[in-house]
Amino acid sequence: MISFLALFFILSCKSTSAEGTRIKTDFITSFDQEPFYIQAKNSFEEKRLSNGIPLIIKTSTAQKDCTVRLVIDAESLSNPEQKAGIEEITLKLMKFGSASYSSNYISSLEYTDSAFFELKAHRDYLEFGFTAPLSSLENICAVFADVFKNPLMDTEDFESLINEASELLEKNKDDARQSLLNGACEVLSLQDKYFTVNTYSAKTKLTYQDVFSYQKALLNASKIKIVASGNFTLKDVEKLYSDLNSQFGSLKSRAYKKRSPAVKTLDLPAEIRTVSGDGLFNECLMGVYKIPPVCSEEYVKYSLMTLFIDDILYRDIKEKNGYADDIGSGIIAGNIPLGVIMACGLHSQKDLISYSAELIQKAFESGTLDKKIDSFRRIYTSVVMSSELSSSKTCSQMATSLVYSGNASEYIKRPYLIRTVTAEDVKKAYDETLGSKILWFKVSRE
């Protein structure tokens, strides 16, 4: 919706329960003793289409439908500011159908087959796929493949999408949060163009030819990986492979420049930057700080840290004192991931930056985390484990793991890793990053 939000994953924006059954960790000393990992590790099968495209299929008896999704590398853009939003607009335009399957027909599939096309444009990759009952898989796969390879790409539909994006931009122009996120992107992009706003913005200047060319560039076997999840039998797996190979196995491979940061790390000085915007002065605050790579073992500690910070700040600043309409802590995933604290709708002259730091420090010193660590472990674990009930959510987990670790099943290790994190680990993570250096942004009217 706004600049970073394609990558902005708020783990929790409400106070969390401190009570509940404690997670027992003593008897689990390896991955092969963790129930979730044991159950899931043999449910993945990897194949390759005739042109080399990887196909990773996960079988889950808990899922009632199935999802097939293309995971496509985002390409480096020659002018990222003017081309901002091209990925999402291209995927939306493709969803309008092909010469063989109209937009109305695709929409009707929701009612006739309970089938839904899905699209997501992230900073590092794109997801384009569908969810459907197993009984409709073959038919929907054929429709989806034709839409991907031979979209109608009507110029009137393009103009409609551009007008829609422009209207949304105008509607949100007085939103201080939008100004803050865009301003932060501009500051970070001075160090690396990788952080340029990647959603439609006031600087976007897209032509139909831009989008048409971008769509053609997606038909590149070198860019594509496929993930699928559902209640498949062995026969279903073979049939799915056959269908996907016939539809996508003929795509050619071509060289391309994958989008990736040029710098290995960002310089985030401990200071406050003011960004311009139409919103009210200081209505929103956002702090960013460095965290380890996504899918690394260290990343889990920082994810739990964001849950703890979110809980402490939300309870005091929003619920108890009403200093802000909302406040939350989260993570911007990416090849250079960032931790985030954001407060919006400020109602106090209190210095929330120093006040937040004091709250967090006092919570650590009082032993609050020792009392709550099990609750935060349970919340984080449930995010991973609950995805097993949804083929769509499972594919999202697989896509993230595939992009950031090279292994679609990497996420199933997370419940075990969560169990091993102690309150001391979280405190150390805080001291090494957010406790010592965080770059803050605030909005001011020019």
> Among 83-87, 229-233, 433-437, which stretch is predicted with the lowest mean pLDDT?
433-437
CA 435 to chain centre: 25
Residue type, 313: L
Q: Give the position of tokens 């840290």.
A: 305
* Neighbouring-strand partners of residue 401: none
| 227 phi, psi to nearest 5 deg | -120, 150
**Mean per-residue pLDDT of the chain:** 90
pLDDT, tens digit, 9 for 90 and up, residues 153-200: 999 999 999 999 999 998 887 788 888 888 899 999 999 999 999 999
Question: What six digits make up the tokens of 36?
Answer: 């979730």
Quickly list DSSP for 356-414.
Answer: HHHHHHHHHHTTHHHHHHHHHHHHHHHHHHHGGG-HHHHHHHHHHHHHHHS-TTGGGGH
Give the model's confidence band at 54: pLDDT under 50 very low, under 70 low, under 90 confident, else very high. very high
Per-residue model confidence (pLDDT) at position 379? 94
| pLDDT above 90 as % of the chain | 80
pLDDT, tens digit, 9 for 90 and up, residues 315-344: 999 999 999 999 999 999 999 999 999 999
Per-residue model confidence (pLDDT) at position 20? 36
Burial 414-430 (b: 16+ CB within 10 A, else e): bbbbbbebebebbbebb
* DSSP code, position 7: T
Which is nearest to 205 in space by CA: 77, 91, 95?
77
Angle of helix 297-313 relative to helix 368-386, nearest 10 degrees?
A: 120
Mean pLDDT for 9-35 is: 54
- Residues with Cβ within 8 Å of 29's Cβ and at least 6 positions away in sequence, in order, are none
The answer to whether 85 touches 204, Cβ cutoff 8 Å, is yes
Burial 242-268 (b: 16+ CB within 10 A, else e): ebbbebbbebeeeeeeebebeeeebeb
pLDDT, tens digit, 9 for 90 and up, residues 293-312: 999 999 999 999 999 999 99
How open is the CA angle 287-288-292, to the nearest 5 degrees?
Answer: 150
pLDDT, tens digit, 9 for 90 and up, residues 207-225: 999 999 999 999 999 999 9
Q: Is 75 helix (H, G, I), strand (E, B) or coil?
A: strand
Q: Is 135 helix (H, G, I), strand (E, B) or coil?
A: helix
User: How far is Cα 153 from Cα 179, in angstroms, rounded to an integer?
Assistant: 32
- Residues with Cβ within 8 Å of 155's Cβ and at least 6 positions away in sequence, in order, are 208
The answer to whether 80 touches 196, Cβ cutoff 8 Å, is yes
List C-alpha distances in Å: 93 to 29, 125, 147, 199, 213: 50, 17, 10, 15, 13
Residue type, 10: I
The answer to whether 92 touches 153, Cβ cutoff 8 Å, is no
Give the model's confidence band at 434: pLDDT under 50 very low, under 70 low, under 90 confident, else very high. confident
User: How far is Cα 428 from Cα 414, in angstroms, rounded to an integer?
Assistant: 20
Per-residue model confidence (pLDDT) at position 314? 97
How open is the CA angle 408-410-414, to the nearest 5 degrees?
Answer: 140
Kindly tell me if the per-residue pLDDT of 289 is higher than 90.
Answer: yes
CA 286 to chain centre: 19
Q: Is 441 helix (H, G, I), strand (E, B) or coil?
A: strand
Kindly tell me if the per-residue pLDDT of 279 is higher than 60.
Answer: no
pLDDT, tens digit, 9 for 90 and up, residues 146-159: 999 999 999 999 99
CA 225 to chain centre: 17
pLDDT, tens digit, 9 for 90 and up, residues 115-129: 999 999 999 999 999
Kindly tell me if the per-residue pLDDT of 91 is higher than 80.
Answer: yes
407, burial (CB in 10 Å: exposed 0-12, middle 13-18, buried 19+): middle
Per-residue model confidence (pLDDT) at position 9? 39
Q: How far apart are the first and last CA of the chain?
A: 24
Which is nearest to 398 in space by CA: 54, 147, 149?
54
Per-residue model confidence (pLDDT) at position 377? 95
Which is nearest to 141 in space by CA: 121, 115, 107, 119?
115
User: How far is Cα 162 from Cα 152, in angstroms, rounded to an integer?
Assistant: 17
Per-residue model confidence (pLDDT) at position 183? 87
| pLDDT above 70 as % of the chain | 91
